[in-house]
Structure 1
């Protein structure tokens, strides 16, 4: 009797652990594989050594515009807006985070700001892609607020999907204001963490520029010209930790040239930006922590619980079966029957 009770308890525990393993793998882990509403990513810095760029600055009390050369640093800071996320349309609420993004580019030699922008974007918590939201905005003017609806973000920007695949995604180009294909190229290790390498090549093409600003630049660099175009090309390489979708390393080559109708070509930007070593290590550490947690919840604990559950189920079954056999009636052994004209054989009990 005692063995049957113990066996049944072990069998029941095994069933329970099996249910827990399935729940962790198929319920808890998918729920955990989403961006938290209050997630605040670390500030990222990218350096572009020996960059060529156009800078407007004050010299002798007068504004001047000229081509400069120095190391540039592009910094990006992100602030989550939990309140705005809670007020999204029904189709987006609980599925989307809202981020306020602040970016600037400075010279590292004197700290002068070359460019500063502010944007507001909604991202899908699972895929990391930009959500279709009328509140998206962008501004690069200090005196101009970020007005919702003046830009249409699409594709991946700051993160890739949880469970990133080895395939082509759409990645947003901020100069062309559109999402373009970015292709998987291989798997590499970044600071000890496995990453998928993606690359996007943007062939040379005409880019838009504020007409007033373009007129000023033409007047400075191509006097006498009446019109011109901005030719743009770029190439981006991203290293993505596939479990969390975190971008753990980033390199961007940008080239912009002002071409006047008189044939004068002026380089507006020629730079190769890449994560600084400190930024790379910071994002690798955070991505590694997230990866370990998700793998623990979604793989290693379920596997361990499943193995233990199967052992308990087998042991409980064998113990219960053995107890049943031990408590069953023992079959009688017949003796040599007595014989006679009026007698029958009676088994001994």
Structure 2
């Protein structure tokens, strides 16, 4: 009887161990439905083209005392503003500018674009990601509100320091983190105030973004870039550790990408026409009617140019492979204006020219290079470690312990049963032998 109990107990423990590995842990390898995280970058020195100042032909406060920003050549204010007054109402430091910015200057002074670029200013980015509906046992919808801000312009409501903002929604598989095949993803480019916003039309998205799959592999993945509405590969670089946690490093080199064309193509693919908000967005990525001299371009300074905004980014993310959680990240974002793709590529590949532009920007729209701050890293690492510990406990440690105990119990039960059976056979054999002797050996003969 004890042997059967041990065998039964061992079988039960082994069953529990297998159930943990093949049934319980897989259910744990799903993105939690209570996601609510905030990431904040370090504050670093960057540059921003202040579109409201450009539209109003009014040099920024930081540039007002520069000689070239006090004495410009003659031209009409419509050219200096980059087009008609309505077209100039979009803000290049924002995705969409709040209407009602500074009125256009009444003078005929044609200020160079450098008068509207604030350089060496403190910038930081923050993003809040939370789970929203629709979300269920198989899918989760992330809503990410992201903004780039000037620390030197933070007003009481935060709007004054806002450079750009977006609200992104994407529905993904809770295990693979891949977007669903339905046209439910939206990306809303938001104004800084009571102005227009792009309508959040749904579209099908490809590529990872806010999370990697559980059991991340050492390979390239598709990754979605919200600034250009494009999907591009992000490459596996190598293994490392972040704060003592195992991590895979991935890196993505983008650009230069023509932002006006990529955003136009995106909206054209999901709708038959543009609403006024989309037109405003597109206007902020293209500047017509200004002169080469205003942009600091070589050649005839009076030559009229058509300038489009281009985008480059070196994105680095560190992913805990077991959980797929991003535990650290950085971006080197640079947006600038150029006449066409060839000129944009020549510009960014000219190291000396880029250094000059960094020191004295003449065509920069946004320059922001930063990574997660220490507090964000600590909070993210703690959450990743907690998830990894749970998976390790239920996926490895507990099944191993239960499995070993189960095997020992089964072996012990079998051994006890074998010994019991052997002991029983020995006892019966001894009694039988004794009985045989009693029947086959004659006792002493009786005396006469």
Residues 1:144 and 2:185 are matched in the alignment: no
* Counterpart residue number, 1:62: 102
> Is 1:14 paired with 2:54?
no
**Within 2, Cα distance between the matches of 1:305 and 1:225?**
77
Separation (CA, whole Å) in 2 of partners of 1:214 and 1:8: 78
Q: 2:284 aligns with which of 203, 213, 218?
A: 213
1:62-81 aligned within 5 A: 62=102, 66-69=116-119, 70-81=121-132
Q: Structure 1 residues 238 and 309 mapped into 2: Cα distance closer, same or farther (>3 Å)?
A: same
| Structure 1 residue runs of 4 or more that deviate by more than 3 Å after TM superposition | 56-61, 214-224, 331-338, 345-348
The residue aligned with 1:163 is: 215
> Retained in 2: the 8 A contact 1:201–1:234?
yes
Separation (CA, whole Å) in 2 of partners of 1:306 and 1:315 = 14
Report 1:304-319 matches (<5 A): 304-319=401-416
Inter-partner Cα distance in structure 1 for 2:43 and 2:441? 101
1:57–1:176 Cα change, 3 Å:
closer
Question: What CA deviation, in whole Å up to 9, does each residue of 1:100-144 have, x standing for no partner?
Answer: 221111112232011111121101100112222322111213332
The answer to whether structure 1 residue 154 and structure 2 residue 233 are counterparts is no
Post-superposition CA distance 1:273-323 (Å, at most 9, x none): 200111011100000000000011111110111111111111111111111
Q: Which runs of 5+ in 1 are unaligned?
A: 87-93, 339-344
Q: Is the 8 A contact 2:287 2:306 kept in 1?
A: no
Aligned length: 327
Deviation at residue 48 of structure 1 after TM alignment = 5.2
SS of 1:20's equivalent? helix
Bigger CA drift: 172-181 or 312-321? 172-181
Q: Is the 8 A contact 2:252 2:314 kept in 1?
A: yes
Find the residue that maps to 1:147 and give its secondary structure. coil
Cα gap change, 1:130 to 1:47, in 2 (>3 Å): farther
TM-score (norm 1): 0.84
**Is 25-34 or 178-187 further displaced after alignment?**
178-187
Q: Tell me whether 1:233 sits opposite 2:312 in the alignment.
A: yes
The change in CA–CA distance for 1:183 and 1:67 in structure 2 (over 3 A counts) is same
Contact 1:46 1:275 in 2 (8 A): yes
Local SS of the residue matching 1:227: strand
1:191 pairs with 2:243: yes
Distance 1:81 1:324, change over 3 A: same
Bigger share in helix = 2
Any stretches of 5+ residues in structure 2 without a counterpart? 54-59, 62-100, 105-114, 155-160, 264-280, 296-301, 348-361, 443-448
Higher mean C-alpha deviation, range 56-65 or range 24-33: 56-65
1:189 aligned counterpart, secondary structure? strand
Residue 21 to residue 347, structure 1, CA distance change in 2 (3 Å): farther
For the structure 1 residues 308 and 336, does the alpha-carbon distance in structure 2 shift closer, same or farther, using more than 3 Å as the test?
closer
Q: Which of the residues 367, 391, 396 maps onto 1:294?
A: 391
- Rate the CA distance shift 1:228–1:152 in 2: closer, same or farther, 3 A: farther
Offset, 1:226: 4.1
What displacement does 1:24 show? 0.2
Q: Contact 2:184/2:204 (CA < 8 Å) preserved in 1?
A: no
Aligned-pair CA distance for 1:158: 0.3
The farther-off stretch of 48-57 and 280-289 is 48-57
My pick for the range that moved more, 176-185 or 17-26, is 176-185
* Separation (CA, whole Å) in 1 of partners of 2:289 and 2:2: 88
Task: Name 2:231's counterpart in structure 1.
Answer: 179
State the TM-score, normalized to the length of structure 2.
0.67
SS at match of 1:330: helix
